[in-house]
Structure 1
Amino acid sequence: MMNVDLRSDTVTKPTPGMLEAMFTAKIGDDVFGEDETVNELEDKAAKLFGMEAGIFCPSGTMTNQIAIKCFTQPLDELIADQTAHVYRYEGGGIAFNSAVSTRLLNGYRGIITAEMIEPEINAENIHYPHTILVVLENTVNKGGGSCYTLEQIKPIAELCKDKGLKLHLDGARIFNALTQTGDKAVDYGKYFNGVSVCLSKGLGAPVGSVFLADKETIKYARRIRKVLGGGMRQAGFLAAAGIYALDHHVERLKIDHAHAQILAAELAKCDWVSAVLPVETNLILFDTIAPASAVLEKLAEHGIKAMSTDKHRIRFVLHLDVHADQVEHVVKVLKTI
């Protein structure tokens, strides 16, 4: 039986070329700043996004939580969409780590606008938390891989600058967004105070994210990373995978997007599917008439793994370990359910 894992783009295994890069990496103690490969990755990512500096961390949750800690103080408030990963899937870390509150907005598939944000910025009043940060997510996981363009980001950045707010990007799948929109990574540095870049999703690295910001923020971020237990020692083996991913796995994201379109088109034909959200990148969210659990059981009988995100909603995620023949297999199975 052919096996196809569509649960997430985090399930990928390092490619032979990536493994070779990991095995031959030059390493040192990164907590002492002496790991050459980690330093190279941080510098490479920072330059790529037009930022001054970066810090390599084990996960995107950690880079996001460090960013929030860097940009806020207790009794502050951040603004984000109600689907935001930093709010829903980071274990309540905003409150636990930073002691700040969250103002949630109802964007369209996770996309919020300056017009939505402005009226939610609190006036200076002791009864209100101090609004200090806006967090965007690109692509939006709960939005089915929906993308912000730089044209959409620009007015938000201008509003934040005018109101004295910081702007952070949870770039969990930022390269999927860039592949779709055609925007340039280097331009992000013009708009954001901080950017979290995940290497272990669409890019296929086994571990790691990089938080990018100005040098002073990253200096403070190193202290926070240490407190959170994220100071890794000979981390160059992992950083080498990140460098390889940036060099070799960005352009190929177009393949994942094309595969997602094929599956989305087939799902739209299925009479047991009630709706398919618009597909922009490598994520597909679709609603089922029967309980999602029943559909997942049926898919599993044919070697297909997927995830439910609600009682009647399922998510497919395409990635570099899903090849054309596996996509064909899924299409055939969908026709039989």
Structure 2
Amino acid sequence: MKLFDLRSDTITKPTQAMRKAMYEAEVGDDVYREDPTTNRLEQMGAELSGKERSLFVSSGSMGNLISLYINGGRSNEILAAANSHIIQHEIGSVAAIAGALPIGLEAPRGILNSSLLEGKVKQGAYDMATTTLVEVENTIGGFCYPLENLEEIKDFSDSHNLLVHMDGARIFNAQIATGISVKTYAKYADTLTFCLSKGLGAPVGSLLCGNKTFIDKALTIRKMLGGGIRQSGILAAAGIYALEHHVDRLQEDHAHAKAIAATLGKTGWAQVDLEGVQTNIIFFTVKGYTAKDIVKQLETIGILANNEGNLVRLVTNLDLNDEDTDSVCKLLSSFTPGKQS
């Protein structure tokens, strides 16, 4: 039985062309800042984000943590959506390592606005943590952050002397889905991370973007966290290839996700939010079953899925082609919860 792995867009394998680029990469010692391929990747990151500089880091979690450490600060507060990645999926590092207190705000789809931030900022009281940073995530659960929300959040933050960090792990998905460039999104954040290993198909790595002063500090914190990689150009080459060849093709992942979501919507047993499927992520529920139950049942018919709470999550990716998508849709159409052998 063929398995269709829809657990995440991080499970993809490097293409042969990407492997060739990695094999041929010119390298040096990046801790000495002498790796030419890494330097080129970081220049690309700065140009794409419109920031002065960018820094290659091992993961999006590391990039987020560095920003939270520097711009959040120990004993300070960070405002973020309650379901954001930094709160739910980064092992408490914002508190344990950055030393900051995350304040989770309930927000529809995880999308903040200035009214949700109003009254939450603490500054000047001797017995309270000071609010220093607002964190936003684009995309969040595959949903693109409306530009008007980002504008008002940045205006609010500026008026309250707060900085804004954007976890843009899948920001290229947002760019493809909306036509809004990464550079435009990044205008409304002081710092930005984006992943090379989600959607874009690189085996590892993210870029952290900001001004020169911030990146100078980030270099030190990256080293402190154990993120100094010597001949990192072998990995950076994969990132360069991904940025040059795998951005526009994200529209294929989005089309596949919409096809699968539409199929789920027709089954009668799946409750799926079709409007929420803007990029490559699908969430659905099944009445009478837990998400874990459905994930186990789907595996018996050859579909690997994940669950987030009581939501089943499917993520289309580089390794799923048109034929595979048709096969997944056929499997889902013939699937009946609770009736698998």
TM interval, short-chain normalised: over 0.9
Structure 1 CA distance for aligned equivalents of residues 103 and 296 of structure 2: 38
CA positional deviation for 1:170: 0.3
Q: Which runs of 4+ in 1 moved over 3 A?
A: 274-277
Unaligned runs of 5+ in 2: 336-341
- 1:322 alignment partner in structure 2: 320
Q: Deviations over 1:189-211 (max 9, x none)?
A: 42211000110001110000010
TM-score scaled by length of structure 1: 0.96
Partner of 1:295: 294
**Pairwise mapping of residues 128-277 of structure 1 onto structure 2 (< 5 A)?**
128-141=128-141, 145-276=142-273
> Which is further off, 16-25 or 284-293?
284-293
How many residues are matched?
333
Change (3 A) 1:154 1:20: same
Partners of 1:28 and 1:123 in 2: CA distance: 45
Structure 1: runs of 5 or more not aligned = none
Match of 1:45 in 2: 45
- State the alpha-carbon separation in 2 of the partners of residues 25 and 313 from structure 1: 41
User: How far apart in 1 are the matches of 2:73 and 2:297?
Assistant: 49
* Matched AA of 1:11: I
- Output the CA distance in 2 between the equivalents of 1:286 and 1:336: 17
- Return the alpha-carbon distance in structure 2 between the equivalents of residues 10 and 254 of structure 1: 17
Q: Give SS of 1:232's match.
A: coil
Query: Is the 1:149–1:183 contact (alpha carbons within 8 Å) kept by the matching residues of 2?
Result: no
1:271 CA displacement: 2.4
Alpha-carbon contact 2:205-2:235 (below 8 Å) kept: yes
Kindly state the Cα deviation for residue 25 of structure 1 after the two structures are TM-superposed: 0.5
Aligned identity (percent) is: 42
Give the whole-Å Cα distance in 2 for the aligned partners of 1:189 and 1:7. Answer: 28
2:338 aligns to what? Answer: none
1:336 aligned onto 2:334: yes
Is residue 50–residue 188 contact of structure 1 (8 Å, CA) maintained in 2? no
Q: Which amino acid aligns with 2:233?
A: G
Query: Root-mean-square deviation (CA), in Å?
Result: 1.2
Structure 2 counterpart SS, 1:295 = helix
* Alignment TM-score, normalising by the size of structure 2: 0.95
Q: Give the drift of 1:149.
A: 3.0
Q: What does the per-residue CA deviation read over 1:38-97, in whole Å, with 9 as the maximum and x for residues that have no partner? A: 000011111111000111111000000001111022221000000010111111001111
